[in-house]
């Protein structure tokens, strides 16, 4: 892994591109081994370290004390780490926090509930109040700005789909 980190550092296309090295050694070999691996990754040029499966605030703190580069905390649900708030992680010295599965898990629970409702009732009509409207989707996506840009590039010959979308 040290050679891979060094190769990634050498191959980065832009000096602003971060090389974040992950260690999963905590779960298999313990905290001291994970810290030693992380130090080797830093020596190989890693810009930040992603220690996976830290089991307590004390372990998050010990990692911070041992590693001189930015640290990333993984706040995934149902994992080994306690679900700490971002401000607490900041207090512990973590500069990067990810919630890699939160939105997906919430969305998939909603999908499961929706299909259960459709299977029971035969229609999605009872789900309408829980749906994002087309207008809100376009607002979130900044669709109007994209449509203006697209029309400026490809305006000639464009036609409306009949639903207010320039397709």
Domain that holds residue 124: 103-154
For 60-81, the pLDDT digits (tens) are 999 999 999 999 999 999 999 9
Residue environment code for 87-101, b if the CB has 16+ CB neighbours within 10 A, otherwise e: eebeebebeebeeee
Name the pLDDT band for 29 (thresholds 50, 70, 90): very high
Strand pairing of 48-51 and 20-23? parallel
Q: Is 25 in the same domain as 77?
A: yes
Domain CATH for 59: 3.20.20.60
Q: For residue 126, is it within any domain? A: yes
The residue with greater pLDDT, 108 or 164, is: 108
For 48, phi and psi rounded to 5 degrees? -150, 160
Tens digit of pLDDT for each residue in 100-155?
999 999 999 999 999 999 999 999 999 999 999 999 999 999 998 988 888 878 76
Q: Check residue 149 and give its pLDDT.
A: 84
Does any domain span residue 82?
yes
Query: DSSP secondary-structure letter at 133?
Result: P
Q: Are residues 122 and 145 in the same domain?
A: yes
Q: Are 13 and 83 found together in one domain?
A: yes
Residue 17 lies in a domain: yes
In this structure, what token pair is assigned to residue 80?
């080994």
If asked whether residues 70 and 119 sit together in one domain, one would say no
Q: Let me know whether 91 and 109 are in one domain.
A: no
Q: What is the mean pLDDT of residues 11-30?
A: 95
Counted domains in the chain = 2
Q: Whole-prediction pTM value?
A: 0.77
> What pLDDT score does 167 carry?
47
On whether both 109 and 63 belong to a single domain, the answer is: no
The answer as to whether 84 is a domain residue is yes
CA–CA separation, 21 vs 47, rounded Å? Answer: 8
């Amino acid at each position: 892994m040290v050679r891979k980190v060094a190769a990634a550092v050498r191959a980065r296309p832009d000096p602003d591109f971060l090389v974040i090295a992950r260690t999963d050694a905590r779960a298999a070999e313990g905290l001291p081994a994970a810290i030693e691996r992380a130090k080797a990754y830093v020596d190989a040029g890693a810009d930040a370290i992603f220690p996976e499966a830290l089991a307590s605030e004390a372990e998050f703190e010990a990692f911070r004390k041992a590693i001189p580069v930015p640290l990333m905390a993984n706040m995934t649900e149902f994992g080994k780490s306690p679900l700490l708030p971002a401000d607490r992680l900041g207090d512990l010295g973590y500069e990067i926090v990810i919630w890699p599965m939160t939105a997906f898990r919430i969305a998939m629970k909603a999908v499961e509930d929706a299909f259960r409702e459709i299977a029971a009732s035969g229609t999605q009509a009872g789900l309408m109040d829980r749906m994002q409207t087309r207008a809100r989707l376009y607002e979130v996506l900044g669709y109007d700005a994209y449509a203006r840009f697209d029309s400026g590039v490809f305006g000639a010959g464009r036609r409306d789909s009949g639903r207010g979308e320039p397709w």
